[in-house]
Copies of this chain bind each other. A is one copy, B any other.
Amino acid sequence: MSEETLPAREPIGTLQGLLAALSDPVRLEMVRRLAGTPQPQACSLLYDRINKSTASHHFKILREAGLTERVMIGGQAHQRLRADDVERAFPGVLSSILGSLPADVGSSAAH
């Protein structure tokens, strides 16, 4: 199965950009789901009840903030959380945010 990262990896953005990216409940839920595993996840597994074009918009903001990268696996788009890069740039920020999330952020993000 071929794996290819497309497009070129974004540099990690600013702290403000990261906070803005994470201040949206849909994007925070995407990141929460990605954080559960080091493997890239199929895009469609990362959201509920929004359409594909809205999801693409959110994926773009996450990618431009340096939080995620897009990976093609077997011809299908996946997202991967750049947890190590973010940790290096902003120590403790992402992990403490994820640690503070209520367990039900997923369902609340869907409304």
Residues of A within 8 A of B (CB): 15-17, 19-20, 22-25, 28, 89-93, 95-97, 99-102
Contacts and interface: CB of A to CB of B under 8 A. Distances in A.
Given A16-B24, A20-B23, A28-B16, A96 B91 contact: yes
Contacts of A97: 15, 19, 90, 93
State the copy count for this chain. Answer: 2
22 contacts: A15-B28, A15-B97, A15-B101, A16-B25, A16-B28, A17-B23, A19-B19, A19-B22, A19-B23, A20-B20, A20-B23, A23-B23, A89-B100, A90-B100, A91-B99, A92-B92, A92-B96, A92-B100, A93-B93, A93-B96, A93-B97, A96-B96
Given A20-B20, A23-B20, A24-B16, A100 B91 contact: yes
Please classify the interface of chain A as helix (H, G, I), strand (E, B), loop, or mixed, using the class held by over half of its residues. Answer: helix
Contacts of A17: 23
A13 B89 CA distance: 27
A20 B20 CA distance: 6
A102 B97 CA distance: 19
